């Protein structure tokens, strides 16, 4: 045996490993997590009785026993005068690390250098790639830390598993090989990306960015007003892209999905009076499952304010193991007789996924069912109307004046009247109201009282406001006049042209 005296070196150990990823959803019961093999390349000279402590940020797994010995293989020089990194088959010597102690609760393992031997091991005859001469040094020697196991629940709670490598002289105090070093490494790029955790817990399910939302301009001028969108078309579709990350340890397996669309669905026709609730299939759910094609589902529940679909995996139906995309399809042509008027408005959606976790072993042993709300309230899009829009600037908000707002409709179609406003004094206020009145075809209607009630309800009673009046009728047929007079002197001023 050839031993040298330990000494500090300017270099520090380096590490390499392939980080692992564990499903956050699928690992709820996971008893233990196996860490990837970490290879350590020494930066210092080691000698007998030097200590190496490996600390993890979580406890070791119950029942796990660290390897009793580890082998650190030294470098050598081959027949072509090239330095070869040591392996079990080709090396310039072997340093044996014996297990000294284990503190499972603290996640700590200590090894002691029990033997240093720089005898060459070679499978060849000393040519290129074959060890010929030992470098008689542990600098550049490599050791595998194996594949330790840590406590699954503790690792999941921490969100990742990290560790440190700490080499000292036999006294356990004097550092060698850089002291306590994180088990981390960079990729050498620019900018350099660092790997700092051996295992990361990641959400398996996510609602990816870039969704296609419901969109359409409801045509108030159609032969059957508001029965189609401008185009003309009666169809509107939203596409929601889900991410179901593959390749994770202890994956969850989808068993069902609940998709809810929220908005104003008061325009949907109940197509079956004999059945409780609203029966209508104008909206449908289209699931793209694992890239294998579409499965279309009718709504489970329809109300005036929400539509929901609950799809569970059943025998004979498409397996729900991976759902790639969710399409919400609307076709007003199948809403009653296809002539019913749609309403404008904004929509939101929610996605809840039901799944089985990976069980206690990550492969389904004693699995349990669970669910996760992937998206509680996502933007599903907006339908607008191609009606008339008129802006009233500097609308006075005061009891000292009397306002006048009139809407003239020269067409043959009635139109509901809406108002949005911004203004007031101090902190500016916004208001949005359905005024509850219509603009009758061929008539003039005064909307001052309804507008002022909307503004008052929003706290807009002083200063001035910017008012937008929207009428759900063809813009060419609608005229809006606004003005006011000072109550004290009866002076009149126009607010529109």
pLDDT tens column, 119-128: 999 988 778 8
The CB-side HSE value for 73 (13 A sphere, CA atoms) comes to 16
By CB atoms closer than 10 A (0-12, 13-18, 19+), residue 158 is middle
User: Cβ distance 33 to 22 under 8 Å?
Assistant: yes
Mean pLDDT of the chain: 91
State the average pLDDT over residues 463-478: 89
Q: 170 pLDDT exceeds 90?
A: yes
User: Residue range 406-415: average pLDDT?
Assistant: 92
pLDDT score, position 230: 93
Q: Which of 7-11, 93-97, 370-374 has the lowest mean pLDDT?
A: 7-11
Confidence at residue 35, expressed as pLDDT on a 0 to 100 scale? 98
As a whole number, mean pLDDT of residues 201-228 equals 90
Strand spans (E) along 183-305: 185-186, 194-195, 199-202, 205-207, 214-218, 235-244, 253-262, 283-289, 294-298, 301-302
Residue 6 banded pLDDT, cuts 50, 70, 90: very low
Say if residue 356's pLDDT is above 60.
Answer: yes
Average pLDDT over residues 265-292: 87
d(CA 246, CA 248): 6
Q: What is the pLDDT of residue 428?
A: 61
Could you read off the pLDDT of 127-150 as tens digits, one per residue? 888 999 999 999 999 999 999 999
The mean per-residue pLDDT over the stretch 151-163 comes to 98
Position 8 scores a pLDDT of 43
- In contact, 418 and 468? CB cutoff 8 Å: no
57-81 pLDDT tens trace: 999 999 999 999 999 999 999 988 9
Classify residue 399 as exposed, middle or buried by CB count within 10 Å of its CB (0-12, 13-18, 19+): exposed
According to the model, what pLDDT value does residue 316 have?
54
> Residue 429: pLDDT band by 50, 70, 90 thresholds?
low
Confidence band, pLDDT 50/70/90 cuts, at residue 426: low
**Contact 35/148 with Cβ under 8 angstroms?**
yes
Task: Enter the CATH code of domain 205-385.
Answer: 2.60.40
Confidence band for 319, pLDDT divided at 50, 70 and 90: low
Domain 14-202 has CATH 2.60.40: yes
Could you give the percent of the chain with pLDDT greater than 70? 94
Would you give the distance in Å from CA 202 to the centre of its chain?
Answer: 10
Tokens of 436: 């509850």
Tokens of 141: 């020697």
CATH superfamily of domain region 387-494: TM1070-like (2.60.290.11)
Q: Apex CA 353: angle with CA 347 and CA 359, to 5°?
A: 165
Please tell me the distance from the alpha carbon of residue 440 to that of residue 454, in angstroms, as a whole number: 21
Please say if the pLDDT value at position 460 is more than 90. no
Residue 154 CA to residue 159 CA, distance in Å, equals 9
pLDDT of residue 320: 73
- Same fold? 14-202, 205-385: yes
At 214, is the pLDDT very low, low, confident or very high (cuts 50, 70, 90)?
very high
Residue 1 has pLDDT above 90, yes or no: no
Domain ranges of the chain: 14-202, 205-385, 387-494
Cα(67)–Cα(311) distance, rounded to whole angstroms? 48
Half-sphere exposure of 395 (CA within 13 A, CB side): 26
Kindly report the pTM of this predicted structure. Answer: 0.80
Look at residues 347, 342, 329 and name the one whose alpha carbon lies nearest to residue 222. 342
Q: Angle at Cα 12 formed by Cα 90 and Cα 111, nearest 5°?
A: 70
Backbone conformation region of residue 107, classed left if phi is above 0, alpha if psi is from -120 to 50, else beta: left
Q: For position 427, what pLDDT does the model report?
A: 55
Contacts with 489 (C-beta within 8 Å, 6 or more apart), sequence order: none
Instruction: Tell me what pLDDT residue 300 has.
Output: 93
Q: What was the pLDDT predicted at 210? A: 83
């Amino acid at each position: 045996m050839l031993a040298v005296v330990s000494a500090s070196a300017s270099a520090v150990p380096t590490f390499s490993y392939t980080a692992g990823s564990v499903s956050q959803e699928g690992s709820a019961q996971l008893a233990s997590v196996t860490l990837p093999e970490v290879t350590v390349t020494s930066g210092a000279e080691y000698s007998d009785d030097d200590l190496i402590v490996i600390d993890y940020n979580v406890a070791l797994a119950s029942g796990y026993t660290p390897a009793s010995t580890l082998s650190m293989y030294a470098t050598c020089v081959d027949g072509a005068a090239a330095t070869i990194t040591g392996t079990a088959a080709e090396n310039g010597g072997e340093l044996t690390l014996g297990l000294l102690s284990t503190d499972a609760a603290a996640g700590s393992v200590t090894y002691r250098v029990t033997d240093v031997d720089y005898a060459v091991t070679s499978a060849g005859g000393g040519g290129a790639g074959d060890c010929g001469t030992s470098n008689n040094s542990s600098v550049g020697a490599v050791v595998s830390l194996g594949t330790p196991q840590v406590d699954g629940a503790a690792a999941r709670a921490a969100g990742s598993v990290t560790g440190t490598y700490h080499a000292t002289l036999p006294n356990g105090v004097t550092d060698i090989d850089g002291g306590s070093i994180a088990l981390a490494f960079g990729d050498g790029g620019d900018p350099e990306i660092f790997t700092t955790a051996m295992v990361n817990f990641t959400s398996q399910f996510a609602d990816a960015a870039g969704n296609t939302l419901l969109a359409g301009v409801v045509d108030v001028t159609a032969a059957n007003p508001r029965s189609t969108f401008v185009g003309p078309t009666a169809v509107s579709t939203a596409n929601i892209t889900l991410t179901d990350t593959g390749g994770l340890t202890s994956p969850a397996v989808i068993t069902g999905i609940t998709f809810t669309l929220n908005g104003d669905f008061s325009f949907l026709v109940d197509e079956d009076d004999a059945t409780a609730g609203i029966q209508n299939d104008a909206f449908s759910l289209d699931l793209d499952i694992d890239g294998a094609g579409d499965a279309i589902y009718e709504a489970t529940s329809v109300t005036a304010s929400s539509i929901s679909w609950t799809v569970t995996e059943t025998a004979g139906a498409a397996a729900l193991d991976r759902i790639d995309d969710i399409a919400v399809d609307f076709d007003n042509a199948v809403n009653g007789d296809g002539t019913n008027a749609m309403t404008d408005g904004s929509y939101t959606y929610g996605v809840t996924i039901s799944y089985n976790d990976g069980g206690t072993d990550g492969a389904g042993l004693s699995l349990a069912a669970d669910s996760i709300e992937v998206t509680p309230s996502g933007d599903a899009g907006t339908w607008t109307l191609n009606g008339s829009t008129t802006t009233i600037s500097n609308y006075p908000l005061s009891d000292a004046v009397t306002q006048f707002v009139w809407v003239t409709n020269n067409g043959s179609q009635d139109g509901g009247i809406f108002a949005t406003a911004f203004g007031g004094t101090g902190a500016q206020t916004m208001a949005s109201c359905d005024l509850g009145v219509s603009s009758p075809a061929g008539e003039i209607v005064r909307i001052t009282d309804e507008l002022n009630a909307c503004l008052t309800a929003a706290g807009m009673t002083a200063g001035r406001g910017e008012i937008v009046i929207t009428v759900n009728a063809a813009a060419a047929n609608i005229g809006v006049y606004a003005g006011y007079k000072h109550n004290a002197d009866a002076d009149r001023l126009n607010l529109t042209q």
